Structure 1
Amino acid sequence: MSGASLAEKDTDSSGVKNSTKKIPEPHSSPFYNRLVPTYQAFWPAVARRRIIATIESLSIPPDSKVLEVGVGTGMSLDSYPHNISLTGVDLSEAMLAEAQNLINEKGYQHINVLPMNAENLEFPDSSFDMVMSFHTISVVSDPRKMMSEIVRVCKPGGRILLINHFRSENPLIARVVDSAGNITKRLGWRTDLNIDEVISDLPLRLDDCYKTSKLSLFTVMKATCKPELATA
């Protein structure tokens, strides 16, 4: 797969046939395309260490089929073991191009990236053993729809990992952060997203939900998908 452009791939690492070769123009792509230089300069310093540590904590088994929703510029790709099949999807053409450049430079044969809307994942039901998403669910137009799609494409008994900012349970902190909501919404992300709003009534077992430090704004959520079906 090394050296192949996004337009040259006919199938992804999950065996899904690509019906189009051209990356679509998503509704939010222009904003993120302009953001790429700033994103690459600033965001890894904020998020990379947390993402790496959390991926490593999963001890992903060999031959697992893994999906990362909102792969961006590929900041997390070095963190995954090489003995798995990893698919990354994102809306932004500019960010996917950076991720593909990284894949080509590293010669990664186990990673494929595709243009795709997180709210409409173009994979069959129960396609993946694990689904990851880092700092994405608060920037989509319908977080609940994105989470439903993640659950749909994850196998029964599969694992789901989210890292994101969710509204604090501390009323004082929540009010302070909410005060920035009008600004952040114009930039494309929400500060008031509640984790219960995202996962309630979905076939998930919440296994862990924690912050990596007392001062962190971000929450790590680990869950098992459709556990009743896995044990049936």
Structure 2
Amino acid sequence: MSNETKKIKNRYNRISKIYDVLEGPMEAMTMSTWREKLITSIEGDQVLEVGVGTGKNLLLYPEKLEITGIDFSEKMLEKAIQKTKGKENITLIEMDAQNMSFADNTFDTVVTSCVFCSVPDPVKGLKEIRRVCKPNGKIVMLEHMRSHHTIIGKFMDMANFFPLYTWGANINRETISNILKAGFKEEEIETQDLWSDIVKLIEIRNKK
């Protein structure tokens, strides 16, 4: 594990006790609706969620699905484990998204939500997702990223230090560009703006 990954992991471990409280207002306003929209985009039975955090998505999945969730922060994962006690269809594992131990072509759908603001090497993490998702499988992402509106984008660049050094999230990541760098083609990617051009629902068909 790189030094940068250790730093981000430690920041999430440190803030895990109050993470749900910090996100409470956003969840109450819109985020819970966006999460439901994300889950309805799933295909197949074998689902991987990368970066489960404290487990906000996990109780939204239909029980007929086999859910594997990973996170590199053991303290965040402890919160998710508490929320999913008794859910036999959910398996949670401490694992780094940049170096997954799953075999190639394992999952029908891979899910992320507000994850690729935090992965230290996002292109490497996206390549791993492409690897473990089955050919013609689906990747669905609910992600925030840098705005391309000039003033808003510059503000996000200036303000990025605060979330980055508080818990490890970048608010100015160019996630669509990173998806293309990871080997996906433009024609495989569909995006829907949920909040301006900052929060997007991204659906990718894994052609390989």
- Tell me the TM-score range normalised by the shorter chain: 0.7 to 0.9
User: Displacement, 1:44?
Assistant: 4.6
Which residue identity lines up with residue 39 of structure 1 in the other structure? Answer: Y
Which residue identity lines up with residue 144 of structure 1 in the other structure? Answer: V
User: Displacement, 1:59?
Assistant: 5.3
Task: Name the structure, 1 or 2, with higher relative contact order (CA <8 Å, separation 6+).
Answer: 2
Unmatched runs of 5 consecutive residues or more in structure 2? none
SS in 1 for 2:14: helix
2:77 is matched with which residue: 96, 117, 123? 96
The TM-score, its normalising length taken from structure 1, stands at 0.78
1:48 is matched with which residue: 32, 35, 42? 32
Structure label with greater radius of gyration:
1
Name the CA distance, whole Å, in 2 between partners of 1:43 and 1:185. Answer: 15
1:31 alignment partner in structure 2: 11
SS in 1 for 2:84: helix
2:94 alignment partner in structure 1: 115
Task: After superposition, give the CA deviation of every residue in 1:54-83 in whole Å (9 maximum; x if it has no partner).
Answer: 212x1544xx10000000111101111111
Change (3 A) 1:59 1:129: closer
Tell me the percent identity.
29
Name the CA distance, whole Å, in 2 between partners of 1:179 and 1:196. Answer: 21
Name the CA distance, whole Å, in 1 between partners of 2:52 and 2:190. Answer: 22
1:211 alignment partner in structure 2: 193
User: Displacement, 1:45?
Assistant: 4.1
Task: After superposition, give the CA deviation of every residue in 1:82-121 in whole Å (9 maximum; x if it has no partner).
Answer: 11110000011111111111221xx211100000001001
User: Displacement, 1:221?
Assistant: 0.8
Name the CA distance, whole Å, in 2 between partners of 1:49 and 1:73. Answer: 17
Which residue identity lines up with residue 55 of structure 1 in the other structure? Answer: I
Name the CA distance, whole Å, in 2 between partners of 1:88 and 1:59. Answer: 15
Shift >6 Å, 4+ stretches: none
Which stretch of structure 1 is more off in the superposition, 46-55 or 203-212? Answer: 203-212
Equivalenced residue count is 196
SS in 2 for 1:211: strand
Unmatched runs of 5 consecutive residues or more in structure 1? 1-25
Change (3 A) 1:83 1:48: same
Name the CA distance, whole Å, in 2 between partners of 1:74 and 1:91. Answer: 13
2:57 is matched with which residue: 47, 68, 76? 76
2:201 is matched with which residue: 209, 215, 220? 220
Name the CA distance, whole Å, in 1 between partners of 2:74 and 2:50. Answer: 14
CA-based RMSD of the aligned residues comes to 1.9
